Every structure is written in C-alpha cells, then in structure tokens.
Amino acid sequence: MKLILLITLGIISSLFPFSSVKTTISVNQTYTEKEVAFNILKTKCNSCHTKKKNRIKFTLGNMNSLAPEIESQVFIKKKMPKGRKNQLTQLEEDKLRNWIRTL
C-alpha cells in the first residue's frame, strides 16, 4: 500500500517537476542510521575492499551481521580503514557508532 502511494507520488512529481509534491518528498526524506552508515561503508570501505579478492563487500543485506567485525576493526583494533588518506572523519565515526548502537 505504501509502495503504491510512493509510486503514484513519484509519477505525479515527475509529471510536474516543480509541483509541491516533489518538494514535500525531498523535505521529508530521512535516512535511517543504517542507511547513513551504509553510505560510509560504500564510499570509504567498499572502494578498496571490492578491488581486492577475498575482501568482504559491505551491503545493506550483510552489514548488520558484520557489525561486530566492523566495530572491532575500526574502533578496537583501529586497523580499518587502511591507508592514511582513507581515514574516517569524526562525524563519520559517530555515524558508524550510531548505527552499531541500534543493533
């Protein structure tokens, strides 16, 4: 039901690109802690992990079960992300912690 509503809104807003429907959608768009964290894993971790064989590729489907290992590598052993130029910002660390806390 929700999906049908979203699709309908999507069609309406694409027909009227400047209509208020579209504005409402973008204003109300919120991301869950998980989506925010996935965005970091995708840009800061997968960028390297997917280049090498046998490395875990983080996805929305596997990240929750990998959380203990991510926490260990990033916050306890501090081995990840590898490479000085790949360091996480304070904000990114906080966002990862926020997600891990929800699990």
- Report CA 5 to chain centroid distance, whole Å: 24
What's the closest the beta carbon of residue 37 comes to ligand HEC, in angstroms?
A: 10
**Whole-Å CA distances, 63 to 2, 30, 66:** 25, 20, 5
Smallest gap, in angstroms, from Cβ of residue 60 to ligand HEC? 14
Give the count of residues interacting with ligand HEC (CB under 6 A).
Answer: 19
Contact set for ligand HEC, span 70-99 (CB under 6 A): 70, 73-74, 79-83, 86, 88
| Among residues 36, 56, 67, 100, the one that binds ligand HEC under rule CB under 6 A | 56
